[in-house]
Amino acid sequence: MKHVIMIRTMTIMKTADILKAMDITEQLANEVGFLPRDCLFLRLATEEACMNAYEYCQKTRRLPFKIFWKMDTARFTIIVKQRGGCFSAVKTDGVNTGPRGRGLQLIAHIVDNVYVKRAGNNVLLCMCKCKENE
* pLDDT, position 96: 61
* pLDDT, position 102: 74
* pLDDT, position 134: 47
Using an 8 Å Cβ cutoff, are 65 and 3 in contact? Answer: no
Using an 8 Å Cβ cutoff, are 118 and 81 in contact? Answer: no
* pLDDT, position 103: 80
Query: What is the set of domains in the chain, with CATH numbers?
Result: 5-130 (3.30.565.10)
Condensed to tens digits (0 to 9), the pLDDT of residues 53-91 reads: 999 999 999 999 999 999 887 899 999 999 987 665 555
Query: Which parts of the chain sit beneath pLDDT 70?
Result: 1-4, 6, 86-101, 133-134
Quick check: helix, strand or coil at residue 41?
Answer: helix
Quick check: helix, strand or coil at residue 1?
Answer: coil
* pLDDT, position 5: 76
E strand or H helix at 79, and its extent? strand 75-83
* pLDDT, position 91: 57
What lies within 8 Å, CB to CB, of 108 at 6+ separation is 89, 90, 91, 92, 114
Q: Return mean pLDDT, the chain.
A: 88
* pLDDT, position 105: 86
